[in-house]
């Protein structure tokens, strides 16, 4: 039976977890290296083959031009949104990008959902290798503050990876679920999730009912472009300035040197979580450099970045109508919460020591696995009630936004609006949907536009009711009904930032090609390995004196089969290799018998009958 898993698709690392039926506890699945962390890095080699995870991270140093990291920052965004990031991130954005970004990797270009799908496919293969059975369904986590386009892009990535996305779950909520299981906690919980590229804060209420536990999110806030990446970039900036002063060379952020110093500085950052000093050593501009940090230097450097988490934190509390001291438990999630300054800042604000018992890298994936198990088995002893992070609105006269579903509404949530014509014989009504808290449409995030059809007639006569519904994934659905005729109307929505259905279809076809190619790649490697073993054994046996017992015809048949197998191995066609292996086995059958009998004889020689 195919399985369902929980996946944390992170900015820096991604993880896959499952519910262990033996222990009743969720567990992360290790990859080939033994680690449960899959670097969220994708590379394309010169033959067009896709490499993800650990192998791709190695290529960041040698082939940065063919490798991408932190692609999560690009999900659901247009080129205009990422201009600031392009100054610091070595993203190679293809010239034909507009409202959907295309990233240049070697000769090809890919959209962020496609690149994320390569990471998901890697995790899927980890899980399949672990279970030795197919995995085709998953709960995937997203930052709580992700907007509609970013959520849809994540769902698209799942689909492109051959996974049915059972549910998108907000990362802090998933973490709360894992912690709740772990500690059996009740009360009001703040989850502070500071990851590689995103920051979320969620305030939850944990309630025990006769049916089970309810995890009710009261409010959420965050910044989808604030994370450990920003700390890395602040450190890199110091290093680059040092190199520029010392050698006059300005390090290109896209160069191999930039990747080497990034790696060294991240290492130093990690050391500073436990040590008071750290030294980063790196080669750049043809020289070896050293940059030392004290904890105090580091704290000073990152203080403004950490401070940026406080405004969303205060807003979330205000929206939940709670004071910091009314929070019973504080949970830290995400790798950046290992930083002592972050822990201190959070502890001071809530006036209590935060929980750090669970591995902050794994806790989100563990929560996702719990939710996957609930959806998969239908055995429910807990329920997540999450909220929509941003207000949903429609553009009205003068570019003003009318809010129809306020932020922090429990999802699913809906709103109905009645539309009518403003001028005579109008045949259509344009509807523009937005997300955000600002008053004007130009300051909010455009989600989509669509046109309602109406019967031409006097102004104000038409009546079309549009139902906006945010589903349990936090994704918007739209349905329209003509109140005059009672007919449902299909709404053709044009997403402002995202892929439409036909683009997804085309990518799905391509992704199947990739999958087939990956499958073929794996098959040829396995077939070659097997062929090498057989050739080795055959050639060794042919050198044996007992090979003399073969008839000339037999000997010729074996030699021919060996030659044909070698040719097939060079071809790269795994089916041909398998066929030639079978043929070689056939032609050596008699020879194998001879070898076997003689081996038996050797073994029996010198032994007394009663020993046999």
Q: Which residues of 179-231 form beta strands (DSSP E)?
A: 187-194, 199-208, 213-223
Contact between 467 and other proteins by CB under 8 A: the answer reads: yes
CB contact set of 555 (below 8 Å; sequence gap of 6+) = 547
Contact between 476 and other proteins by CB under 8 A: the answer reads: yes
Nearer residue to other proteins within complex by CB, 56 or 369: 369
Report, in Å, the least distance between residue 528 CB and other proteins: 43
Contact between 450 and other proteins by CB under 8 A: the answer reads: yes
Nearer residue to other proteins within complex by CB, 285 or 493: 493
Nearer residue to other proteins within complex by CB, 336 or 388: 388
Nearer residue to other proteins within complex by CB, 231 or 447: 447
Report the C-alpha gap between 390 and 411 in whole angstroms: 12
The one segment of 374-382, 546-554, 561-569, 572-580 that binds other proteins by CB under 8 A:
374-382
Cβ contact 350:181 at 8 Å: no
Answer for which of 79, 477, 579, 598 binds other proteins (CB under 8 A) is: 477
CB contact set of 247 (below 8 Å; sequence gap of 6+) = 285, 286, 287
Q: How many residues does the chain have?
A: 612
Please give the residues from 396 up to 415 whose contact with other proteins meets the rule CB under 8 A: 402, 406, 409-415
Report the C-alpha gap between 366 and 568 in whole angstroms: 45
Contact between 532 and other proteins by CB under 8 A: the answer reads: no
Sheet with 329-333, strands from edge to edge, namely 329-333, 187-194, 199-208, 213-223, 382-385
DSSP label at residue 224: T
The one segment of 123-131, 239-247, 260-268, 444-452 that binds other proteins by CB under 8 A:
444-452
Size of the site for other proteins (CB under 8 A): 55
Please give the residues from 329 up to 368 whose contact with other proteins meets the rule CB under 8 A: none
Report the C-alpha gap between 577 and 566 in whole angstroms: 8
CA-to-CA separations, 415 to 318, 392, 478, 480, 604, in angstroms, rounded? 24, 9, 10, 12, 87
81 is catalytic: no
DSSP label at residue 22: T
Report, in Å, the least distance between residue 399 CB and other proteins: 15
Which position among 114, 148, 156, 193 bears the catalytic label? 193
- Rg of the chain in Å (alpha carbons): 30
193 is catalytic: yes
171 is catalytic: yes
344 is catalytic: no
CB contact set of 397 (below 8 Å; sequence gap of 6+) = none
Report, in Å, the least distance between residue 496 CB and other proteins: 8
Torsion sign, CA atoms 243, 249, 253, 255: negative
Which position among 8, 148, 229, 260 bears the catalytic label? 8
Nearer residue to other proteins within complex by CB, 41 or 372: 372
Give the x/- contact pattern for other proteins in 483-502, rule: CB under 8 A: -----x-xxxx-x-xxxx--
The one segment of 84-92, 118-126, 295-303, 375-383 that binds other proteins by CB under 8 A:
375-383
Torsion sign, CA atoms 240, 246, 250, 253: negative
Look at residues 150, 66, 153 and name the one whose alpha carbon lies nearest to residue 111.
153
Residue 393 tokens read as 């609105």
Nearer residue to other proteins within complex by CB, 119 or 153: 153
Report, in Å, the least distance between residue 464 CB and other proteins: 14
Give the x/- contact pattern for other proteins in 203-232, rule: CB under 8 A: ----x-x-xx-x-x----------------
Phi (first) and psi of residue 382, to 5 degrees: -155, 155
Residue 492 tokens read as 């053709």
Nearer residue to other proteins within complex by CB, 76 or 313: 76
Report, in Å, the least distance between residue 136 CB and other proteins: 14
Q: Per-residue DSSP letters for 323-354?
A: -GGG-SEEEEESGGGGSHHHHHHHHHHHTSPP
Torsion sign, CA atoms 170, 171, 172, 175: positive
Give the x/- contact pattern for other proteins in 130-169, rule: CB under 8 A: ------------------xx--xx--x---------x---
Half-sphere exposure of 309 (CA within 13 A, CB side): 29
Please give the residues from 2 up to 41 whose contact with other proteins meets the rule CB under 8 A: none
Nearer residue to other proteins within complex by CB, 311 or 533: 311
3-state SS assignment for residue 480: strand
Which position among 114, 171, 223, 361 bears the catalytic label? 171
What residues are labeled active site? 8, 72, 171, 193
* Interface with other proteins (CB under 8 A): 76, 148-149, 152-153, 156, 166, 207, 209, 211-212, 214, 216, 374-376, 378, 380, 383-385, 402, 406, 409-415, 433, 447-448, 450, 467, 469-472, 475-479, 481, 488, 490-493, 495, 497-500
């Amino acid at each position: 039976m195919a399985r369902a898993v929980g996946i944390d698709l992170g900015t820096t690392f991604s993880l896959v977890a499952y519910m262990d039926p033996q222990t009743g506890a969720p567990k992360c699945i290790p990859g080939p290296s033994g680690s449960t962390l899959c670097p969220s890095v994708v590379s394309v080699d010169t033959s067009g083959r896709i490499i993800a995870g650990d192998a791709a991270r190695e290529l960041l140093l040698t082939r940065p031009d063919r490798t991408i990291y932190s692609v999560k920052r690009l999900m659901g965004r247009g080129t205009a949104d990422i201009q600031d990031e392009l100054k610091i991130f070595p993203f190679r954005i293809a010239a034909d990008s507009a409202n959907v970004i295309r990233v240049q990797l070697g000769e090809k270009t890919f959209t962020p959902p496609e690149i994320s799908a390569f990471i998901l496919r890697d995790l899927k293969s980890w899980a399949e290798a672990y279970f030795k059975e197919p995995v085709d369904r998953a709960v995937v986590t997203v930052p709580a503050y992700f907007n509609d386009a970013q959520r849809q892009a994540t769902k698209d990535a799942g689909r492109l990876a051959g996974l049915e996305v059972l549910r998108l779950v907000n990362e802090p909520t998933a973490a709360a679920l894992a912690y709740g299981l772990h500690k059996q906690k009740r009360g009001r919980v703040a989850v502070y999730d500071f990851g590689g590229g995103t920051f979320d804060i969620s305030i939850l209420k944990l309630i025990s009912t006769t049916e089970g536990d309810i995890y009710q999110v009261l409010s959420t806030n965050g910044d989808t472009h604030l994370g450990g990446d920003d700390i890395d970039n602040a450190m890199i900036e110091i290093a680059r300035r040092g190199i520029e002063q010392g050698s006059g060379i300005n390090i290109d952020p896209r160069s191999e040197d930039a990747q080497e110093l990034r790696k060294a500085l991240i290492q130093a950052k990690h050391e500073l979580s436990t040590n008071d000093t750290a030294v980063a050593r790196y080669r750049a501009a043809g020289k070896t450099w050293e940059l030392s940090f004290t904890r105090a230097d580091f704290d000073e450097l990152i203080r403004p970045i950490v401070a940026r988490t406080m405004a969303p934190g205060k807003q979330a509390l205000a929206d939940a109508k709670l004071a910091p001291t009314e929070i019973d438990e504080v949970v830290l999630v995400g790798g950046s919460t290992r930083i002592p300054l972050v822990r201190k800042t959070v502890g001071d604000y809530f006036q209590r020591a935060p929980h750090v018992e669970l591995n902050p890298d794994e806790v989100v994936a563990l929560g996702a696995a719990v939710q996957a198990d609930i959806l998969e088995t239908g055995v429910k002893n807990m329920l997540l009630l999450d909220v929509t992070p941003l207000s949903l609105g429609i553009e009205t006269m003068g570019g003003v936004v009318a809010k129809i579903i306020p932020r922090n509404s429990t999802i699913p949530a809906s709103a109905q609006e009645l539309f009518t014509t403003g001028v005579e014989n109008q045949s259509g009504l344009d509807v523009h949907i937005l997300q955000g808290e600002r008053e004007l449409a130009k300051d909010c995030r455009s989600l989509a536009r669509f046109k309602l059809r109406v019967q031409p007639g006097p102004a104000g006569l038409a009546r079309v009711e549009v139902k906006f519904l945010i589903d349990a994934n936090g994704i918007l659905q739209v349905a329209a009904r003509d109140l005059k005729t009672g007919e449902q109307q299909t709404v053709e929505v044009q997403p402002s930032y995202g892929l439409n259905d036909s683009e997804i279809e085309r990518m799905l076809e391509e992704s199947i090609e990739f999958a087939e190619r990956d499958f073929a790649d794996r098959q040829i490697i396995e077939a070659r390995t097997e062929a090498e073993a057989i050739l080795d054994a055959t050639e060794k046996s042919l050198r044996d004196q007992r090979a003399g017992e073969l008839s000339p015809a037999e000997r010729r048949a074996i030699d021919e089969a060996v030659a044909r197998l070698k040719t097939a191995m060079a071809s790269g066609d795994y089916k041909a290799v398998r066929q030639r292996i079978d043929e070689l086995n056939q032609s050596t059958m008699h020879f194998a018998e001879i070898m076997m009998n003689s081996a038996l004889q050797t073994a029996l020689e010198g032994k007394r009958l009663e020993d046999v």
